[in-house]
Amino acid sequence: MRLFVGLGNPGGKYAGNRHNIGFMAVDRIAADHGFGPWRSKFQGQVTEGHLGADKVVLLKPETFMNNSGQSVGEAARFYKLGPEDITVFHDEIDLAPGKLRVKQGGGHAGHNGLRSLHAHIGDAYQRVRMGVGHPGHKDAVPTYVLKDFAKADQEWLSDMLAGVSDGAAYLADGDTGRFQNAVALRLNPPRSSTTKGAKVEKAKLPEPEEPIEDTRSPLQKLVDRFK
C-alpha cells in the first residue's frame, strides 16, 4: 500500500493558491483513476483506490499547511506505513514554474508543511516537488505562495497535473523515471510534422540544374581526357 499526500490549505479561499498545488495533484489523480468519494478521516480528506496493481490512499490534510504532519502521522499509524511508503506532493519555490522533480528524503528547505512532516514521520519520505517559481526575495515568499496562480500559468499547470495523473501508476510502483517521463511528455510533447487544422506544405525539392553547354574543341577534349 502507498499513501499519496497532497499538501495545501482547506477552504475555497485557498483553492487556487500556489501553495495548494499538492491538493490539485491528488484531486486530479482521484478524478482520473476512479477513486471513491472523499471522506473525512485523519484530520483530513481521504479516498482509496488502485493505481495499476497497487492499492493507494490519497490524503489531503485539513490541519492547514503548518500542521500537515499531524494528519499524515495519524494516517501512517493507522495503515502501519513507514516513511518509505509515503509520497508527498508539494509546491517548490526553488524550481521554475512547470518543472517537476522527485526526491527521496532530505531537508525541508524552510517549507512549513514539510517541516511539520519531519516532526511527525521523519525525513525519509518521498517528495514530488512541483515548481511554482520564486518571487525574487525571501520576504515575499509567504504572500507569493498564498496567491492564486496567474492566468499565464494555467496552461503549464494543467499540463503538469495531467502528467502527474498519467504517470501516477508508475510512481505507485516505484518507477520514478517513467513517472517523470510521463510528466515531461505533457509539458514538452514531441513536435509533430503536422499541425491540426493547419495546411502543411510539402517540402520543396531543389530545382534541377540546367546542363551547361560544352564548347571545347575535339582536340581540347582529348587533351583534358588525359590530364
d(CA 44, CA 37): 13
Amino acid (one-letter) located at 66: N
Rg, C-alpha atoms of the chain? 27
Catalytic residue selected from 19, 90, 111, 118: 19
- Angle of helix 68-79 relative to helix 112-121, nearest 10 degrees, comes to 40
Reply yes or no on whether 111 is catalytic: no
> Catalytic residue positions?
19
